[in-house]
Structure 1
Amino acid sequence: GRICHALAVDPGSMLAEDAVEADARRSVARFRRDEALDALAPEDQRLLYVAAEVGRVGGHLRRLLGRPPSLIDRAREVKAITGGHAGREGYALGRDARLRWAPGEAPVPSMHGLLESWSVHIASVQLASPQIEAASLFEEGAVPVIVLNRAHPRCRLPLARRALLAHELCHLLHDGGTRELLTVVSRDVSDDPIEARANGFAPSFLAPQPWVRPRSSDVYDLVVEVASRWGLSYEGGVYHAKNLGLVDRDVAKVLLSRPVNIDASPFEQMPTRLVAADGLSPAPLVDGLVSDLAIEAQAADLISRGRLAEILELA
């Protein structure tokens, strides 16, 4: 794994029995926009390259275990931004995705858990590029991958991380030049309409308008109620209430000057991970759904212990 990492060689091909074939999609050419590459340190480019391989290995393990494809494979529909209101389009997409794919008029207890139940691998790693919040990778046949930058403050706060995962879901479902391939990098400051659309998608997926019916008449209490009920940060609750027409713009500005901490404890409980029988520890990029799949496959004698070690050490 370390040799592959240093040389930017395809680690997944080292695990496969088949002859290696050149494929431009498996290089950094898979990035959707040049500016995404420009925002990344070279070591982060290499890390995301390996993250794509983790997704491919996860897809192979999923098939070995007889598991169904990710829901993203069925739900993914690349959509162009059609007007000048990307955020508004994101709101519509988020609402529609929630009502179709996660129905039930109740808060999502955990975006992390929901995405894993859809066979999305979520890795938390330290990136060298401090402005990068996350990256999403999709490739047909692979497990979709979301990489969170644990060096970024939003990835360390449960409610902010929850919103960020919903933001990345928009990228997985709707972004990319083709249906078959996507790598998109999310930065904390961006005027890209794609990011604006995902910013609108996230709160609308977490708290779709048809289900948001606050009882409070006081605007401050209303925002706290919406945020607490649906698992939004206070700031996220203010913006969502404004965008839903529950408070006006001037009131929202005042509310943003009166921040309060929203109790995050009902949300985003981290899943319990499987542990390899001999105590092998997965690298951060593999730790999660893919490490669980690998441990299950080895326990079922579908892969060897040596292959398990190779997978867990991908970095």
Structure 2
Amino acid sequence: MSQSFSNLREVRERLLGYRLDFVSRATGLSEDRLHQLEQDQELLTAWEAEVLGRVYGLDPDSLSEFPIRTSGDAVTVLQQADEFRQVSDATRLAIVAVGNAARTLHRLRRLLGPEVAVQLPELRRRSEGAPHRQGSHKAALLRRLLNVRGSGPIPSMRDFVKNNLPSIVVLYAQLGPHGPAGVTFGDPRRAPTIVLNAQGKNQNPLVRRFSLAHELCHVLLDWNQAEPLALLSGYLTESGLEIERRANAFAVRLLCPEQMLNSVRDMSPHDAAKRLLEFGLPYAAVRLYLRNETGLQLPRSPDALGLTGTSADWIDSERPDGLDGFPLSSVPLERRTAVAEAGALAYSTGRISRDAFAEALGISPIEDLETVLDYFAIDPPVELSDAA
């Protein structure tokens, strides 16, 4: 799905849909300079190629070629989707930034050791029936494959993915208070990556937990590992609605055992909602499930049923790993967790330089990078230890 463009203006307008003034603010290049580059009146410098490559999600070297060709990876596939154009310039830039971070993480992990093949449970065999039936069936199958036993809730979706599906990377990003709940990437340049919006509705730990289960469905059911996976949840076209219904049903059924879902059919609205909320489902998902499966009509707000607040246990168990207490506020959210830890390990073991570590973090090398080593309890490089 590679594309070709005659000049930088076509890349900006046709691929990204960015305004010229937005690119100017994002890169620090003046609008006059950008106009000259887009009209091929001036040659692109190496620094300009770097900053534009970051904003456009393209390899810097490709921007100096004619024609300019995209790689056809997950990010450029997403850039061609209608839902990508339905979000703001700032959200599009944030999505590109997360794609860049996932690519950085993949490179760092390859430096740290032999590349490990992606291993995911096989759930893609076709199922019959309506999308929500397919989603429920596949979630039940995943629970069996991963030996999820007992009638209680999954204590933490964060830990469930980390411990049972280590091939999948979970990152957090600021995609805007009105941005998508999640983005999913997968291609040879990135591990299968779930990105959760740390703003907006995902600030609620139950919504964030549900979003993670929802995006997990996309990785396991919608990616064939031969072609790039790129999905933006919440802004899908009409043709994508079936995928979203399936993912929602998958999330409900994964988080709550079938016997429990069946047991609430004859309960009062209050008791049914209260029981399902105990499994860490957000109220909106409970309301939709009960309406579709049992005909129970719940009020729009849980307050009307006297069901308010979120348990402190869920707040703790679904707290994003690696965000609280991170020592450098200048590091973008998407680079504070797995990227920062992999970069710290690579720097500690001499596989990358200090400047390269700073680049992986997305900040200047003049900052106190060693505090990141301390944060992850990773030893400094040998030369720094000797100097101390």
Q: TM-score, normalised on structure 2?
A: 0.64
Alignment of 1:33-182 (within 5 A): 34-66=81-113, 69=116, 73-75=119-121, 78=124, 83=129, 85-101=130-146, 103-105=148-150, 106-117=152-163, 118-127=166-175, 130-140=178-188, 142-152=190-200, 154-176=201-223, 179-182=226-229
- How far apart, in 2, do the equivalents of 1:161 and 1:6 lie? 32
Give the gaps of 5 or more residues in structure 1.
15-20
Which residue type is aligned with residue 225 of structure 1? R
* Corresponding residue number in structure 2 for 1:198: 247
Which residue type is aligned with residue 106 of structure 2? G
CA RMSD of aligned residues (A): 3.8
Which residue type is aligned with residue 131 of structure 2? A
Deviation at 1:204? 0.8
* Corresponding residue number in structure 2 for 1:269: 319
**Matched positions, count:** 299
Query: Does the residue aligned with 1:136 lie in a helix, a strand or coil?
Result: strand
Show CA shifts across 1:88-134 (max 9, x none).
21111122123223623343222223334424333333335825222
Which of 261, 268, 271 is matched with 1:221 structurally? 271
- How far apart, in 2, do the equivalents of 1:242 and 1:41 lie? 33
Which residue type is aligned with residue 111 of structure 1? M
- How far apart, in 2, do the equivalents of 1:61 and 1:92 lie? 37
> Would the aligned equivalents of 1:120 and 1:143 in 2 still touch at CA under 8 Å?
yes
- How far apart, in 2, do the equivalents of 1:134 and 1:202 lie? 14
Tell me: CA distance 1:56–1:79, structure 2 relative to 1, closer, same or farther (3 Å).
Answer: farther
> Would the aligned equivalents of 1:95 and 1:204 in 2 still touch at CA under 8 Å?
yes
Tell me: CA distance 1:32–1:93, structure 2 relative to 1, closer, same or farther (3 Å).
Answer: farther
> Would the aligned equivalents of 1:227 and 1:234 in 2 still touch at CA under 8 Å?
yes
Deviation at 1:142? 2.0
> Would the aligned equivalents of 2:75 and 2:96 in 1 still touch at CA under 8 Å?
yes
> Would the aligned equivalents of 1:32 and 1:184 in 2 still touch at CA under 8 Å?
no
How high is the sequence identity, in percent, across the aligned residues? 21
Deviation at 1:76? 6.2
Q: TM-score, normalised on structure 1?
A: 0.76
Which residue type is aligned with residue 219 of structure 2? L
- How far apart, in 1, do the equivalents of 2:209 and 2:202 lie? 9
- How far apart, in 2, do the equivalents of 1:76 and 1:48 lie? 28
Deviation at 1:308? 0.9
> Would the aligned equivalents of 2:182 and 2:197 in 1 still touch at CA under 8 Å?
yes
Task: Give the structure with higher Rg (CA).
Answer: 2
> Would the aligned equivalents of 1:134 and 1:148 in 2 still touch at CA under 8 Å?
yes
Tell me: CA distance 1:256–1:157, structure 2 relative to 1, closer, same or farther (3 Å).
Answer: closer
- How far apart, in 2, do the equivalents of 1:108 and 1:67 lie? 32
Query: Does the residue aligned with 2:104 lie in a helix, a strand or coil?
Result: helix
Query: Does the residue aligned with 2:113 lie in a helix, a strand or coil?
Result: coil
Query: Does the residue aligned with 2:231 lie in a helix, a strand or coil?
Result: strand
> Would the aligned equivalents of 1:121 and 1:144 in 2 still touch at CA under 8 Å?
yes
> Would the aligned equivalents of 1:30 and 1:181 in 2 still touch at CA under 8 Å?
yes
Deviation at 1:182? 0.7
Deviation at 1:310? 0.4
Show CA shifts across 1:182-205 (max 9, x none).
110011787511111111111111
Which residue type is aligned with residue 36 of structure 1? E
Deviation at 1:63? 3.0
Deviation at 1:217? 7.6
Tell me: CA distance 1:141–1:288, structure 2 relative to 1, closer, same or farther (3 Å).
Answer: same
